[in-house]
Amino acid sequence: MIPPMFIYVLCGLTAGMLGGYLGLGGGIIMVPFLTIAAGLDIKVAVPVSVTATVVTSIASSNEYLKKGMVDLELSIILALFMVIGTITGSSLSPYIPSEYIQMVLTIVVLYTAVSLLKSKNNVSKQIVDRNKNIMLAAIIAIFTGVLSGLVGIGGGVIIVPVLYLLIGLPLSTSRGTSSLMIGFSASAASIVYFLNDQIDFQIVTGVIIGIIIDGKLGGKLGAIAKPKIVKIIFFIVLVYVAIKLAYKPLMDIL
Distance between CA atoms of residues 189 and 191, nearest Å: 5
pLDDT score of 119:
57
Lowest mean pLDDT among 36-45, 50-59, 221-230: 221-230
Expressed as residue numbers, the domain containing 86 is 4-253
pLDDT, tens digit, 9 for 90 and up, residues 160-199: 888 888 888 888 888 889 889 988 988 999 999 999 999 9
Closest CA to 112 of 56, 58, 174, 59: 174
Distance between CA atoms of residues 28 and 241, nearest Å: 8
pLDDT at 54 over 80: yes
| pLDDT class of 211 with cuts at 50, 70, 90 | confident
pLDDT, mean over the chain: 80
Determine the average pLDDT of the residues in 60-75. 86
Distance between CA atoms of residues 220 and 26, nearest Å: 15
| pLDDT class of 222 with cuts at 50, 70, 90 | low
| pLDDT class of 128 with cuts at 50, 70, 90 | very low
Question: For the chain, how many structural domains are there in total?
Answer: 1
pLDDT, tens digit, 9 for 90 and up, residues 89-105: 888 888 888 777 778 77
pLDDT at 121 over 60: no
- Burial of residue 201, with CB atoms counted within 10 A of its CB: 0-12 exposed, 13-18 middle, 19 or more buried: exposed
| pLDDT class of 225 with cuts at 50, 70, 90 | low
Distance between CA atoms of residues 94 and 128, nearest Å: 41
